[in-house]
Amino acid sequence: MASAIFRSFQVHPFLLYPTTLLRRRNGVYHLTTKATQSQTDTPQRQPQTKVSTSSTQSKKLDKIPKNYEAIIGIETHVQLSTQTKAFCGCPYHYGSPPNSSICPICMGLPGALPVLNSKVIEFAVKLGLALNCNLAFNSKFDRKQYFYPDLPKGYQISQFDVPIASAGFLDVDIPVEFGGGHKRFGITRVHMEEDAGKLLHAENGNYSQVDLNRAGVPLLEIVSEPDMRNGIEAAEYAAELQRLVRYLGVSNGNMQEGSLRCDVNVSIRPIGQSKFGTKVEIKNLNSFSSVSRAIDFEISRQVQLHSQGQEDQIVQETRLWEEGSQRTITMRKKEGLADYRYFPEPDLPAVILSQEYVDDIIESLPELPEIKRRRYEQMGLSMQDVLFLANDKNIAEFFDATLAKGADPKLVANWIMSDIAAFMKNEKLTINEIKLTPEELSELIASIKGGTISGKIGKEVLFELLAKGGTVKDLIEKKDLVQIVDPNEIEKMVEKVIAENPKQVEQYRGGKTKLQGFFAGQVMKLSKGKANPGLLNRILLEKLNSKS
């Protein structure tokens, strides 16, 4: 039906709308929009105010920001990991062939009526609770009108004046390398909405293709209060949101797939001024580092315009972050609320929550990153340990499972953050993909602590377990790795090494005491790494310092 309606629908190039074509190839619909230079729907680059990169100007910019304060807020779109879209039964899989997962509802065809996916409400309530928000037990959907080639209905189903969650906050731990400390950022609202499609632009810029697979995919938009003051705070806020949605299981949070997208609002004002400056929105931020760098650039750009008396050139607009040139450029003038012409969605009923429904979701919530970090701190772990372990839910679960077997928290943290992390990085594996289990890591630590094997042997056992699995006890038995703790046996090996190296013994007794390491290494080699290091060094020193 779709191909019959749109197969040859074309609009004269003198009109403002793009030429549209929907062709079917190999059972898949391909929607194409052709553009001409005279059309106005393609974002045009506006003349840029040049920001000088000379050393003199750079020095000025270093001094000027002390007189200004940046005001930063973030609108974050989180794509939900539901099996089907928000208002129809179409699945969504990242990377699927273009227009292979669409139907009359997500294409916005006349007469197609939406039906709300109940999982979207569940995920929205989960995130609202995790963000310490007040829930709206009676909310609704609205139509947000705007016209882009990738928005097939000509409007987006969203929430306007009654979002499902509002007035919350998110606590963030700033890493030590960025000054450390705890920050609390306000959350204005969390609301449900649907995603638009995606434009695929031709290299020559003459046309764009439209992929509607993403149209209708459920989103949660989280709007922060303007509480951030620099790029680092904003990036850490966004990273904590990613951590949170992954812990909750509502989204994979992958920025490279568009599952988590940040639009940053930046303005500046002179220190002491209560009124906000003109807000500029920045899009196209696909990593936390680009969030930080884009904000810092935009602050510098606006400060320089203020310092030159050109603050009237700072207009409410949407700008794009160009990764290559490391700057923001004008995309389009920013719409206001009146432009969206919101009105209640007539095809969907109100969303009414019961207390029992909310209580059940509260009971299902996992331990959240902030609570986990505080618990780890109480164990005596450093902030560096805490941030690493709590950053990934799976690593945190592995850590907790190892502790449950009675292992020492600091020792477990050291093993995970050093050798295990290095192995995962080299092999490109996650902690769920390694062969080592929490039980065996606990057993390994106990074997080293109890003197059954040495730390050096322990590392060999660890890498065997990581790559091939098995048990610590079986490996120790099979490879005869039990540590030598018999003083007489170690003494014989020490005497043998000393007897075979008279020149080094003479040099040691002549003052070159660093040679102790040489002798210890030779004994370890002789014992195949099984000699108890403490016992070995005590006996070695006695023999080397003996006058006989």
- Contact of 321 with 290, CB cutoff 8 Å: yes
The Cα–Cα gap between 328 and 429 comes to: 36
What string of DSSP letters covers 118-134? Answer: HHHHHHHHHHHHHTTPE
Residue 434 burial (C-beta neighbours within 10 Å; 0-12, 13-18, 19+) = middle
* Residue-level pLDDT at 8: 31
- One digit per residue, the tens of pLDDT, for the chain of length 548 reads 333 333 233 333 323 333 334 444 444 444 444 443 333 333 333 333 333 333 443 443 444 467 889 999 999 999 999 999 999 999 999 989 999 999 999 998 998 999 999 999 999 999 999 999 999 999 999 999 988 888 889 999 999 999 999 999 999 998 888 888 899 999 999 999 999 999 888 888 788 899 999 999 999 999 999 999 999 999 999 999 999 999 999 999 999 898 999 999 999 998 888 888 889 999 878 889 999 999 999 999 999 888 888 888 888 888 988 888 888 888 877 666 667 889 999 999 999 999 999 999 999 999 999 999 999 999 999 999 999 999 999 999 999 999 999 999 999 999 999 999 999 999 999 999 999 999 999 999 999 888 888 888 899 899 999 999 999 988 888 877 777 777 888 888 888 888 899 888 888 888 888 888 898 888 888 887 777 777 888 888 888 888 65
* Residue-level pLDDT at 54: 38
Which pair of structure tokens corresponds to residue 530? 């099984």
- Contact of 2 with 20, CB cutoff 8 Å: no
The Cα–Cα gap between 142 and 158 comes to: 5
* Residue-level pLDDT at 63: 44
* Residue-level pLDDT at 40: 32
Which pair of structure tokens corresponds to residue 360? 């059940």
In 3D space, the residue among 124, 128, 161, 167 whose CA is nearest the CA of residue 143 turns out to be 161
* Residue-level pLDDT at 34: 44
What string of DSSP letters covers 12-58? Answer: -TTSSSPEEEEEEETTEEEEEEE--TT-SSS--PPPPPP---SHHHH
* Residue-level pLDDT at 528: 78
**Cβ density class 126-156: b for 16+ within 10 Å, e for less:** bbbbbbbbebbeebbbbbbbeeebbbbbebb
* Residue-level pLDDT at 454: 82
Handedness of CA 86, 91, 95, 97 (dihedral sign): negative
Helix (H) or strand (E) holding 62: helix 55-63
The Cα–Cα gap between 3 and 104 comes to: 11
In 3D space, the residue among 394, 386, 385, 390 whose CA is nearest the CA of residue 433 turns out to be 394
Instruction: Write down the CATH number for the domain with range 487-545.
Output: 1.10.10.410
Helix axes 383-391, 393-403, angle to 10 degrees: 110
* Residue-level pLDDT at 395: 96
Domain ranges of the chain: 68-352, 367-479, 487-545
All residues at 6 or more sequence positions from 252 whose CB lies less than 8 Å from its CB, including other chains: 81, 246, 259
All residues at 6 or more sequence positions from 20 whose CB lies less than 8 Å from its CB, including other chains: 6, 9, 10, 11, 31, 32, 33, 149
* Residue-level pLDDT at 181: 87
* Angle made by CA atoms 215, 44, 151, in degrees to the nearest 5: 15
Q: How many CA atoms lie within 13 A of 493 on its CB side?
A: 26
Which pair of structure tokens corresponds to residue 311? 């603050």
In 3D space, the residue among 242, 228, 227 whose CA is nearest the CA of residue 127 turns out to be 242
